Chains A and B, each alone.
Chain A
Amino acid sequence: MNNLTILVVDDDPVIRRLLEQRLLKENYEVLLAEDGYVGNDLLSGNHVDVVLTDLMMPGDIGGIEVLEFAKGLERNIEVILITAHSSVDTAVEAMKKGASDYLEKPINFTELFLRLEKIATMRSLLRSAEDLRQAMDVTESTAAETIQNLEVMTSTLQIKVDSVETILSNESLASEDKVSDALDILQEIS
C-alpha cells in the first residue's frame, strides 16, 4: 500500500483514465480533475501529496497556475508536470518555480513510478527525521528544565555561602553572634 495521494489534472480523458488505472494498480490513492479549475478545487478540499498535471490545458488555469496554487496552499506538495516535447523549456522554467520534475509525453510509466517512489522515500525519511527531532526536543526541554533549576539553585546557594563566609570572617562580631547569624542564613536555605 502506497500512502501517497495523487491528483491527476489533465483535459485529455484518455490520459486521465490511463493514469488512474495505472496509479490505482500501484496502490496509490487517486483524485481526478479535467481542468485547472477542478484541480484547484480538489486541492483546496483534499489532502494531496503529489500533483501530476498537464502543462498546457484549455482555459486560464494551465499547469503553471496549478503549480502556483498548490505551492501557495501547501509547500510540501510535490508537483510533476506532464509536457509535450516542444514545451520542455516551459517545464524547466516551472522547475524554477518549485515543480519537482517533469515528464515528457508519451508518459513512460516506469519513469513515473520511479519518481513517485523517490518522493515516497524522501517523505518517509523526512518523517523519521521529524520523529527524531521531536524525541530530541522532548529530551532537550526536560534536561533544560533540570539544568536551569540547578543553575539558579547553585547560584542562590553560592550567595548564601558567601554571606556566611563574610559573617564568619567579620572580626568585629562576637563568636556566638557569628554562629547565630550564620545559622540564620543557613536556615533560610531549607
Chain B
Amino acid sequence: MLKITPAELKSIAQYIHDISGIYLDQSKSYLFETRLSSIAEELGCSSYLALYDKARRDPGKIIERQIIDAISTNETLFFRDNGPFELLKHKILPEIIDLRTPSSPRLKTNIKIWSAASSTGQELYSVAMTIKDLIGTQMDNFNFKLLGTDISDNVVKQASYGKYNKFEIERGLPRPTLQKHFTLFGDSWKVKDELRAMVNFRKLNLMLPFTGLGKFDIILCRNVAIYFTLADRKKLFNKLADSLTDDGFLIIGSTESLTGICPRFVPKRHLKAIFYQKKT
C-alpha cells in the first residue's frame, strides 16, 4: 500500500476538510492510506501529492467525489439505537400529528422530516416504516415528505435504489417488519413502492448553505457532526436551528451533545431518550 508522508498528510487532510467538512486526525495516517491508496493506484498516481494535484485540477470533480465516497463513514443500520424510533413512535410523531391535523378532513397537511446524513438510507426508511406502522390508515390526512441527504454520491444512489443485501437486512430488521415493507429481489430485498414513494434522497454538503430545503418538523442529524471540528459543529447546528420549525424536533446521535455547541436548543427527555427543541 502506498505510504503517506507527513507533508502529504497535512495537504490532504486540509483538502478533505475543504471539500467535505470532515476533519481527519492526522495522527491516523493508516486511515488515509487504507481509504485512498486504491484511488491513487487506480489513477496511476505515484504519491498522494500527485493524487491531490490531480483531484484539484479535475474539472468534472470526479476524483473529488471518489475521495469523498472513500473517506466518508457509511456505517448505518435499520433502527440504529432503537431509542430515537421509540421516541418518534411514542412522543414526537403523535405530537406533530396533533399539531398538524388539518381543520377540515378534505385538507392535507405536509409533515417534513429530514435525515441530514442519510448514508445508504436505512435511517430514513426506518422512519418511514415507523410512520406507516403507527398511523396506517390515517396516512391520507397527511402528506409526509421525507428527505435524506448525504455528501457521498454513491450512498445517495444506493439509498434511492432501496435495495439491501442479506447482511444489511440482518442488521436491525425484525422478520415481520421485513416481510411487511420489503419484497425479495434475488438474494436481496427491495423496499416496497409505497414506502419508497414517501422518501427522497439527494446529495448535500452540510458545510454549504441549505438553500431551497425549507423548514422541517423533524430533523435527524445523528453521528455525522462527530467528524467535524467544534467550529464547524457550531455552524451546522445553528443552520439546523434555522431549518427547524419553531415547534419542531431535533434528534442527534445517542453519544453526541449540544452543550457548548448550540444554545438555541434545549434538551428534553422522554423515557430513556433525549430530543431537542428550540428555546422559546
Interface secondary structure of A, over-half rule? helix
Q: How many angstroms from the CA of A75 to the CA of B258 in the assembled complex?
A: 41
> Is A24 interfacial (CB 8 A cutoff)?
no
Residues of B within 8 A of A98 (CB): 186-187
Residues of A within 8 A of B83 (CB): 144
Residues of A within 8 A of B256 (CB): 147
Contact B186 A150 (CB under 8 A): no
Contact B259 A140 (CB under 8 A): no
Residues of A within 8 A of B167 (CB): 126
Closest-CB distance, B41 to chain A (whole angstroms): 25
Closest-CB distance, A149 to chain B (whole angstroms): 9
Which B235-254 residues sit within 8 Å CB-CB of chain A?
Answer: 254
> Is B102 interfacial (CB 8 A cutoff)?
no
**Which stretch from B42-50, B122-130, B197-205, B266-274 is at the chain A interface?**
B266-274
Closest-CB distance, B179 to chain A (whole angstroms): 10
Q: How many angstroms from the CA of A147 to the CA of B256 in the assembled complex?
A: 7
Q: How many angstroms from the CA of A154 to the CA of B260 in the assembled complex?
A: 10
Which A107-165 residues sit within 8 Å CB-CB of chain B?
Answer: 126, 140-141, 143-145, 147-148, 150-152, 154-155
Contact A151 B258 (CB under 8 A): yes
Contact A151 B267 (CB under 8 A): yes
Q: Tell which of B166, B259, B272 touches A75, judged by Cβ atoms closer than 8 Å.
A: B166
> Is B92 interfacial (CB 8 A cutoff)?
no
Residues of A within 8 A of B259 (CB): 150-151, 154-155
Residue interface mask A90-103, B partner, CB < 8 A = 1: 00000011100000
Q: How many angstroms from the CA of A56 to the CA of B202 in the assembled complex?
A: 47
Contact B187 A148 (CB under 8 A): no
Residues of B within 8 A of A143 (CB): 255
Which A23-75 residues sit within 8 Å CB-CB of chain B?
Answer: 75
Contact A75 B169 (CB under 8 A): yes
Which A150-188 residues sit within 8 Å CB-CB of chain B?
Answer: 150-152, 154-155
Contact flag A151-B266 (CB < 8 Å), given A96-B186, A96-B187, A98-B187: no
Contact A75 B274 (CB under 8 A): no
**Chain B residue at minimum C-beta to C-beta distance from A141:** B254
Q: How many angstroms from the CA of A152 to the CA of B167 in the assembled complex?
A: 36
> Is B73 interfacial (CB 8 A cutoff)?
no
**Chain B residue at minimum C-beta to C-beta distance from A100:** B187
Q: How many angstroms from the CA of A97 to the CA of B166 in the assembled complex?
A: 12
Q: How many angstroms from the CA of A86 to the CA of B256 in the assembled complex?
A: 59
> Is B193 interfacial (CB 8 A cutoff)?
no
Closest-CB distance, B217 to chain A (whole angstroms): 22
> Is B257 interfacial (CB 8 A cutoff)?
yes
Q: How many angstroms from the CA of A155 to the CA of B275 in the assembled complex?
A: 13
Residues of B within 8 A of A155 (CB): 259, 266-267
Residues of A within 8 A of B274 (CB): 148, 151-152
Contact A147 B170 (CB under 8 A): no
Q: How many angstroms from the CA of A50 to the CA of B269 in the assembled complex?
A: 47
B residues in contact (CB < 8 Å) with A: 81, 83, 166-167, 169-170, 186-187, 254-259, 266-267, 269, 272-274
Given A76-B166, A144-B81, 17 extra CB contacts under 8 A = A75-B166, A76-B170, A96-B187, A97-B186, A126-B167, A140-B81, A140-B254, A141-B254, A144-B83, A147-B254, A147-B255, A148-B267, A148-B273, A151-B274, A152-B274, A155-B259, A155-B267
Listed A/B pairs (27) with beta-carbon separation below 8 Å: A75-B169, A76-B166, A76-B170, A97-B186, A97-B187, A98-B186, A140-B255, A141-B81, A141-B254, A143-B255, A144-B81, A144-B83, A145-B272, A147-B254, A147-B256, A148-B254, A148-B269, A150-B257, A151-B257, A151-B258, A151-B259, A151-B267, A151-B274, A152-B267, A152-B269, A152-B274, A155-B267
A residues in contact (CB < 8 Å) with B: 75-76, 96-98, 126, 140-141, 143-145, 147-148, 150-152, 154-155
